[in-house]
Structures are given as C-alpha cells and as structure tokens.
Amino acid sequence: MHEDQLLPAEPGIRAIARELYRHAKDLPLISPHGHVDPALLADDRPFPDPARLIVVPDHYITRMLASQGIAPAALGVPSLDGTPVQTDGRAIWRLLAANWHLLRGTPSRLWTERVLTEVFEVPVELGPRTADEVYDAIAARLAGPGFRPRALFERFNIEVLATTESPLADLGAHAKLAADGWGGPGGRVITTFRPDDLVDLDWPGWAERVAQLGAGTYAQFLDRLRERRRAFIAAGATSSDHGHPSAATLALDAAEAAALFDRALRGRAEPGDAERFRAHMLVEFARMSVEDGLVMQLHPGAVRNHNAALHARHGRDVGGDIPGPTEYVRALKPLLDEFGTDPRFRIVLYTLDETTFTRELAPLAGGYPAVFLGAPWWFLDSPEGLRRFREAVTETAGFYNTAGFVDDTRAFCSIPVRHDVARRVDAGFLARLVAEHRLPLDEAAETIADLAYHLPKRVYQRTVHNGVTT
C-alpha cells in the first residue's frame, strides 16, 4: 500500500493531510456496531483456512461475484435447501483469484488487498497465477499463535468491540469472555441488544419466538424485553440496535398496542399491523432507553431479501438486500416529540439513502440534542461515501453531532483496515478546510482525533438516571 493512499492528490493539501492523519492513525479502535461472532473470541480457536476467514463470511465479496453469475455455493456460502456447497478452501480461494478483476474499484478490493498486505504480510499480489502462493502464505501464518483471534484483537489495537445478538441469545460466549476478563461492563468485547426478530410480525416464526421469550400477553412481552435488556447490560451492552424497514415511529395507547399484539399472536394480523407495531415498538424501546440508559441505534432502509432465490437457497444476510428510499423528518416526529430533548435519551441515526443526509438527517441532528448521525453504513462505507457524508452533513450538523466510524463487518480481519480508511478520508476532508483557511491546523488535529476515537467512545457510553455513566 502506498503511504498516501486515499489522501488528496494536490501536493499542498496532501502534506496537511499527512500531518493530520498522524494524529489519528495509532489511536485505539472503538467498534460500536458489528457482527463478529463473539464465540470467535471466546473460544480463541485457530481460523480454519484463508477462504473461510476472508471469503465465505464476507457478503460484500460473495455478492459482487454472484452478480457475475458465480454461485454463492461455489464460494462456500452455506445452503438451506440442500444445494451442494464447496468445502475445499483452496478451490474457493482459486475461484476468488480467478475473478479478482471483478472487484476492481470497489471498497471490497481495497479492504481485502490491505488485509493481505498488512495483516498477513503476503509478499505478492493476488491473481489467478498467484492464488496458491497467497493461500499458502496466509495458511502458514494462521497456523501460528500470533494469528489466533485474541492475538489479532490485541495487534489490531481494538479497545472495544460490540457484537450484535437477539434478545433470545443465551449470551454464553459473552459469559465466557467475562470469565476470562474480556467481557462484561467495561469489557473489551460487549454485546448489543438487537430485537428485530421479536418486533417484526412479517418475520417468519415471530409467534414461536415470542413464546420462546415467555410472553403470552403484550404486558408480559414488554416485561420480558426489559428483563432481557437487563441481562444484556450485565453482559456489557451499552446500546440497542434496530434494523427496521423504515424509520416510522408511532405512539399507540396501551390498549391499542395490546389488541394489535393479540391479533398477531392468534395469526389474525391485519394489513398494516406489522408496520404499525414496529413503529410503536421503536417508541417503547426509546422509553426503555430512558429507563436503563442503552443508547439507541436505528438502521432503517434495507429492503431485506430482495433476491428471493438467494434467500430461499442461502437464507438471510448473504448479500440479497437492497437499499430503499427512507423518510425521517415525519417518520421520527412521534419519537422525537416525546424524547428528542430528554437528556437521558440518545439515538444514533443511520441511512442507506444518502439523499437524506443534507435534507433530513443533518438538520435533525442539528436540532435535537438526543440525535447523533451514524457513519455511512453498508452500501455507503466506501471512500467516496465517507467523503460525501462529511461534505453533506458538516455544514448543518457539524462534526460533534456525528458518532464516529462503525465497521459493521463480519470479516474480523478487515476491522483495522476499514477504520484506517475512514481516518484517511477524514484527514483529507479536514486538510481541505485547513488549506482554505477555514479551520486552524491545531483544531483540525484535535477534530480528527475526536472523530476517530473520542466521539464514538463518548456517544456510545451508557448513561443512567442519576448521571453516573459506565
């Protein structure tokens, strides 16, 4: 990797960006939203092989290759319908290498190249003729103790890593991490409360999961969710996460919410009930956040499982989702009317619809003390997406109504690379402000350190009633 990768091309601004980047490059990583399996770190077993580490879990990669007709099964993606799946890691790796050109210009190519060169120190570029050489080099490193998950965690300089679990999760991996001194409140690996599968009536198996929660009535449902939030807090959680189709919020009265819940539980939900219940539950979860201090994250706008054939064959979260247009100003008003100025409440808003950054999200963050803007996420966490975000929101929301970078990844080894990309992009943005005499160099240096480290640490901390924070 060139030392000036992603920094501005103009020499004067690049020199400033180099100086600013130095203030952020070695700061610890705060990873407040991600999807790394906590068992990976709890068990600390060697990674199986290069393909199962780098290719199979990374739906950014498998999705791009699938768009060119390469079956996910050929890339080792597990199937639900009995489709034979490639299990030979070397064969999967060779298929990636043979089609490496398909990733040109994508952030996936950038991240993966840097994982190969920086994490695994592979001396050659990946391509069809070097596939086996690269595979063998990675496999040799994975065999050593320095490449076990916890050793890499230390090497990556991760201060806190938040995983994401359903309220129904037993949190056993987190208990093991706590016993080893890695988890629990103030731990290095913490959980996040993600209740989507219990509030989305359209999600197959909803009633069965509610029964598993132990709720037969709406009042019991709320009580059980509060109990599970307490268990998550005991496991270190500082935030909840909500991935709804829209940002709609709705404050139903208790009787109406109970009637809706009972209809759904009996299999008699009416048209529109699912959206109304999701919207109502966002307000209820905000109320719970005021009570227990969990920071609320809202990630709306993904049209889940748009690729029906991919979903039927391989299930959720394998690259079949598509962004959709999302409205926030009217959608969030019921929630913000009740909690938007409450000092005990904090919500971090994300979007897959970047047309809303300037028009809706930045003004909301600039108008409500409870609202913070999450980093460009998923389809938008590219270098260009990160730059557009700063350009779109800074004028109205400033820097300090944003919540830092989130890597949002299942690909563990890409975490430090993704954070470094964000720090380089921010260095370039701030360098332009310095070059244009809009920001002094010392303030820009302070700002990039805040964006990289201090802001996410501050925003995602849990706040409790009496003002004591943990």
Give me 408's structure tokens.
Answer: 């949002």
- Model confidence at 425: pLDDT above 80: yes
**Could you tell me the CA-to-CA distances from 129 to 115, 183, 190 in Å, in that order?**
19, 43, 42
Tell me the pLDDT of the chain averaged across its residues.
95
Give me 222's structure tokens.
Answer: 């709320």
Per-residue pLDDT tens over the stretch 332-368? 999 999 999 999 999 999 999 999 999 999 999 999 9
Looking at residues 240-266, what average pLDDT do you find? 97
**DSSP run (H or E) holding 311:** helix 308-314
| CA–CA separation, 35 and 419 (whole Å) | 15
Of all residues in the chain, what percent carry a pLDDT higher than 90? 94
- Model confidence at 465: pLDDT above 70: no
- Going across the sheet that includes 347-349, the strands are 239-242, 295-298, 347-349, 371-373
Confidence of residue 463 (pLDDT cuts 50, 70, 90): confident
Nearest to 58 by CA among 98, 6, 93, 104: 93
Per-residue pLDDT tens over the stretch 59-79? 899 999 999 999 999 999 999
| CA–CA separation, 97 and 130 (whole Å) | 8
Per-residue pLDDT tens over the stretch 298-329? 999 999 999 999 999 999 888 899 999 999 99
| CA–CA separation, 70 and 142 (whole Å) | 27
- Model confidence at 469: pLDDT above 80: no
| CA–CA separation, 337 and 330 (whole Å) | 11
Looking at residues 105-125, what average pLDDT do you find? 95
Q: Nearest 5 degrees, angle CA 73-CA 79-CA 80? A: 160
Report which DSSP code applies to 380. G
Which 3 state secondary structure label does DSSP give 387?
Answer: helix
| CA–CA separation, 136 and 131 (whole Å) | 9
Handedness of CA 427, 431, 433, 437 (dihedral sign): positive
What per-residue confidence (pLDDT) applies to 464? 67
Give me 112's structure tokens.
Answer: 């993966």
Enumerate the β-bridge partners of residue 190.
Answer: 162
Report which DSSP code applies to 360. I
In the block, tokens 């290719």 appear at 55
Please state the pTM of the whole predicted model: 0.95
| CA–CA separation, 221 and 285 (whole Å) | 12
Per-residue pLDDT tens over the stretch 373-382? 999 999 999 9
What per-residue confidence (pLDDT) applies to 466? 54
Contact of 289 with 225, CB cutoff 8 Å: no
Per-residue pLDDT tens over the stretch 20-43? 999 999 999 999 998 999 999 999
Nearest to 168 by CA among 202, 201, 214, 204: 214
**Could you tell me the CA-to-CA distances from 99 to 38, 75, 124, 165, 318 in Å, in that order?**
31, 12, 17, 34, 19
Looking at residues 222-243, what average pLDDT do you find? 97
Nearest to 129 by CA among 106, 153, 97: 97
Contact of 426 with 451, CB cutoff 8 Å: yes
Looking at residues 146-159, what average pLDDT do you find? 97
- Model confidence at 178: pLDDT above 80: yes
Per-residue pLDDT tens over the stretch 116-137? 999 999 999 999 999 999 999 9
What per-residue confidence (pLDDT) applies to 326? 98
Contact of 143 with 165, CB cutoff 8 Å: no
- Model confidence at 183: pLDDT above 50: yes
Contact of 446 with 429, CB cutoff 8 Å: no
Of all residues in the chain, what percent carry a pLDDT higher than 70? 99
Write the burial class of residue 164 (CB in 10 Å: 0-12 exposed, 13-18 middle, 19+ buried): buried
Looking at residues 278-289, what average pLDDT do you find? 98
The region of weakest confidence among 15-19, 210-214, 411-415, 435-439 is 411-415
- Model confidence at 274: pLDDT above 80: yes
